[in-house]
């Protein structure tokens, strides 16, 4: 299997772990997400959805950059962070409008959008991608070309 497959599979697994930890940490900022068994399941489902958003951001930037590895190019790194913010804002607005969830009074918001979910999608896709690239480079012995 090629580097593309390994990179995106590894990115997805790392993103699942990072996003699950993030979801658990911010669970108290949402209404109805407790710390019992149901809260764990809700956060796991959210983390799976986050992985899909991570892949969307990374594949979109890879297509725009016309290269698989783009992290070391400041223009594409900034584009990945910006696209992550746009995806998060759009999804948060949709989810609030359709009442998929509600913020608790403790969630910091700007314009009705939770700040932490936006920060999550700004930084965790790029962090997941970077960690996956580092892991694969060490495991497969392929040079980094990002």
* pLDDT tens digits for range 97-144: 999 889 999 999 999 999 999 999 999 999 999 999 888 888 776 555
The Cα 44–Cα 118 span in angstroms is: 18
Long-range contacts of 121-124 (CB under 8 A, 24+ apart): 121/50, 121/53, 121/54, 121/57, 121/84, 121/85, 121/87, 121/88, 122/81, 122/84, 122/85, 122/88, 123/81, 123/84, 124/15, 124/18, 124/19, 124/22, 124/50, 124/54, 124/84
Identify the residue whose tokens are 């068994």. Answer: 37
Report the predicted TM-score, pTM, of the whole model to 2 decimal places: 0.89
Q: Over the stretch 49-106, which tens digit does the pLDDT of each residue have?
A: 999 999 999 999 999 999 888 888 899 999 999 999 999 999 999 999 999 889 999 9
């Amino acid at each position: 299997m090629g580097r593309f497959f390994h990179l995106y599979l590894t990115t997805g697994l790392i993103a699942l772990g990072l996003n699950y930890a993030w979801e658990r940490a911010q669970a108290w900022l949402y209404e109805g997400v407790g710390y019992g068994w149901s809260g764990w399941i809700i956060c796991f489902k959210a983390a799976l959805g986050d992985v899909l958003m991570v892949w969307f951001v990374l594949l979109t930037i890879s297509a725009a950059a016309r290269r698989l590895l783009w992290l070391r190019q400041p223009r594409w790194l900034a584009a990945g962070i910006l696209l992550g913010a746009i995806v998060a804002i759009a999804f948060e607005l949709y989810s609030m409008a359709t009442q998929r969830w509600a913020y608790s009074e403790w969630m910091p918001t700007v314009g009705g959008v939770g700040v932490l979910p936006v920060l999550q999608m700004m930084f965790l896709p790029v962090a997941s991608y970077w960690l996956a690239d580092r892991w694969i480079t060490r495991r497969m012995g392929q040079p980094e070309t990002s």
